[in-house]
């Protein structure tokens, strides 16, 4: 039966290819370079390698706007400053594009009580208010120290797995429940579930959303497992008449159903984890390749923790976590400015994909091109992040370009940085994400002599290539790298 279905699909595909042509043409209606499309599918190269396709088209279009098709949908890629101004204007739907290209989001979109992405963001902000972060700060630091202590005295680990686990655990603390966060097996189980949810987004799932591919079946089963885990906790609380001070209790008290709770938790974790873990790994890599900045950050951390200089080598990083917790969140944020500079510059360097919107308002015009109602739009971050008129020597890692004076000087240019979103869609979790990354870096650098090395254990001399297999996500390195660590005495070297 499956062989007949596959044969039918191949026949449809071949028929589409036969009756279509490929290459560059000029769309008469849009008057911009347009990739020819195949019947039903649209532009197939986009599904094969979306990031490579967009990058190739950027060169191919010679700085012009260009278009291609995804199924029956027209996608126009805006360019330069005029494109930026249009892309971040009113009337463009933030989530519509991601719904089309990321089918897993359809199953976890915000629930009916929360209308639109801005309302969802506003509701999510309740979980990361300043007073909530301050209250959760000691617990989150202990969450990090417990996981780090499992690493042992020395060793080497894959940062894109183990450092990612730290970010995931902290995100769980702010989006799920105490029963999950206090059980290491539950943390790992949720990580596996989200890996499967994300793996369900494939070209086939976009072209044939009804087709039961292994990835789609795995995504549905993973969603069911998440629902069951949450249901067990909710039922146990009801049976025991027990309440907890956590996000799940807020959702229960608001009257959300189990399905709605599952969707909200899934969406929130997707938003929190999708990029933060990999951004943190790239930060460590950039610091390794630029030792002067690594030394500045290390010295800054030593100064931040100088009150702990009397503490000698410990079998745990918990004492450091306790000291940091007693200082409060404001101390961490105010006393690590070099870390801020390096995080922002890392974001600028590694955010090389695109943002996506849909025009849900009236037709608009960009550089003489009419953008009709319903058209999907993309904007490549590289048009800003690597514009030499905005960032001189844009391919150089220069964190000092994020000094308060430099940032103020760029404000006259309008939107110049997309690392935390922009316009009406600035990341609601920016402060939380920054705080989480800082907590992890401080604990790792204060507790260990840590270096990023290649698979052979050799120090990195140059920046490794990125994998670039995802269009909307910060990707890991193409070749594996390792975080090599050895526990050190606490205090100044």
- Check: CB of residue 36 under 8 Å from CB of residue 47: no
Helix (H) or strand (E) holding 366: strand 364-366
The rounded distance, in Å, linking the Cα atoms of 427 and 410 is: 20
Q: Is 449 left (phi over 0), alpha (psi -120 to 50) or beta?
A: beta
Per-residue pLDDT tens digits of the chain, which is 493 residues long: 454 445 445 544 544 544 444 444 444 356 788 887 777 778 888 888 888 899 899 888 888 899 998 888 899 999 999 999 999 888 888 777 777 776 545 554 444 444 344 456 677 777 888 999 999 999 999 999 999 999 999 999 999 999 999 999 999 999 999 999 999 999 999 999 988 887 766 666 666 666 777 777 888 888 899 999 999 999 999 999 999 999 999 999 989 899 889 988 888 888 888 889 999 999 999 999 999 999 999 999 999 988 554 444 455 677 889 989 999 999 999 999 999 999 999 999 999 889 999 998 899 999 889 999 999 999 999 999 999 999 999 999 999 999 999 999 999 999 999 999 888 778 888 999 999 999 999 999 999 999 999 999 999 989 999 998 777 789 999 999 999 999 986 544 4
- Check: CB of residue 273 under 8 Å from CB of residue 167: yes
The rounded distance, in Å, linking the Cα atoms of 410 and 421 is: 16
Starting from the edge strand earliest in sequence, which strands make up the sheet with 448-454, in order?
154-157, 481-487, 448-454
In this predicted structure, what is the pLDDT of residue 114?
44
In this predicted structure, what is the pLDDT of residue 24?
41
The rounded distance, in Å, linking the Cα atoms of 130 and 133 is: 5
Contacts of residues 455-461 at CB distance under 8 Å and 24 or more positions apart, as own/partner, are 455/479, 455/480, 455/481, 455/482, 457/156, 457/482, 457/484, 459/288, 460/285, 460/288, 460/289, 461/289
Question: Which residues are paired to 354 by β-bridges?
Answer: 380
**Structure tokens, 124:** 């999510």
Query: Helix H segments across 113-213?
Result: 116-125, 130-149, 159-175, 178-181, 184-199, 203-207
In this predicted structure, what is the pLDDT of residue 90?
83
Helix (H) or strand (E) holding 66: strand 66-70
Residue 107, SS3?
A: coil
Give the Cα-Cα-Cα angle 174, 180, 435 (nearest 5 degrees).
25
Helix (H) or strand (E) holding 422: strand 421-422
Question: Which residues are paired to 33 by β-bridges?
Answer: 26
Question: Which residues are paired to 379 by β-bridges?
Answer: 355
Residue 235, SS3?
A: helix
Q: CA nearest 338: which of 381, 285, 298?
A: 298
Sign of torsion over alpha carbons 135, 136, 137, 138: positive
In this predicted structure, what is the pLDDT of residue 425?
77
**Burial class, 14, CB count within 10 angstroms (exposed 0-12 / middle 13-18 / buried 19+):** exposed
**Structure tokens, 352:** 């090389």
In this predicted structure, what is the pLDDT of residue 116?
42
- Check: CB of residue 360 under 8 Å from CB of residue 91: yes
CATH numbers and ranges of domains, the chain? 2-103+356-382 (no CATH), 116-350+419-487 (1.10.630.10)
């Amino acid at each position: 039966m499956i062989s007949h279905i596959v044969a039918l699909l191949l026949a449809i595909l071949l028929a589409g290819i036969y009756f279509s042509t490929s290459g560059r043409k000029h769309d008469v209606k849009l008057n911009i370079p347009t990739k020819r499309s195949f019947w039903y599918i649209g532009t197939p190269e986009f599904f094969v390698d979306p990031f490579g396709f967009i990058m190739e088209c950027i060169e191919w279009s010679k700085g012009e706007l260009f278009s291609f098709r995804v199924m029956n949908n027209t996608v126009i890629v805006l360019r330069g400053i005029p494109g930026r101004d249009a892309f971040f204007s009113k009337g463009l739907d933030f989530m519509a594009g991601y719904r089309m290209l990321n089918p897993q989001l359809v199953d976890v979109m915000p629930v009916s009580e929360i209308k639109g992405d801005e309302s969802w963001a506003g509701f999510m902000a309740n979980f990361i208010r300043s007073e909530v972060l301050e209250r959760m700060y000691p617990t989150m630091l202990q969450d990090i120290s417990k996981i780090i202590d499992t690493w042992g005295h020395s060793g080497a680990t894959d940062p894109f797995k183990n450092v990612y686990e730290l970010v995931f655990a902290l995100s769980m603390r702010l989006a799920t429940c105490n029963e999950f966060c206090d059980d290491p097996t539950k943390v790992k189980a949720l990580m596996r579930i989200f890996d499967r949810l994300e793996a369900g987004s494939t070209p086939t799932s976009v072209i044939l959303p009804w087709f039961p591919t292994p990835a789609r079946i795995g995504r549905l089963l993973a969603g069911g497992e998440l629902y069951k885990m949450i249901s067990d906790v909710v039922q146990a609380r009801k049976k025991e008449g027990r309440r907890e001070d956590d996000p799940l209790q807020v959702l229960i008290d608001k009257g959300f159903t189990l399905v709605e709770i599952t969707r909200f938790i899934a969406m929130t974790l997707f938003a929190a984890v999708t990029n933060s873990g990999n951004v943190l790994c790239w930060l460590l890599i950039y610091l390794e390749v630029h030792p002067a900045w690594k030394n500045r950050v290390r010295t800054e951390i030593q100064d931040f923790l100088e009150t702990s200089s009397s503490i000698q080598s410990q079998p745990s990083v918990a004492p450091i976590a306790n000291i940091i917790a007693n200082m409060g969140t404001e101390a961490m944020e105010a006393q690590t400015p070099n870390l801020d500079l390096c995080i922002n510059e890392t974001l600028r360097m590694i955010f090389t994909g695109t943002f996506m919107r849909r025009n849900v308002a009236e037709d608009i015009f960009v550089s003489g091109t009419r953008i009709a109602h319903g058209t999907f739009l993309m904007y490549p971050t590289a048009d800003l992040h690597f514009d030499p008129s905005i960032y001189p020597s844009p391919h150089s890692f220069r964190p000092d370009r994020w000094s308060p004076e430099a940032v103020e000087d760029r404000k006259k240019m309008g939107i110049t940085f997309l690392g935390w979103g922009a316009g009406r869609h600035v990341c609601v979790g920016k402060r939380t994400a920054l705080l989480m990354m800082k907590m992890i870096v401080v604990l790792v650098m204060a507790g260990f002599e840590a270096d990023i090395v290649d698979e052979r254990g050799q120090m990195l001399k140059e920046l490794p290539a990125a994998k670039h297999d995802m269009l909307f996500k910060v990707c890991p390195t193409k070749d594996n790298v390792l975080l090599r660590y050895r526990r050190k005495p606490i205090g100044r070297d």
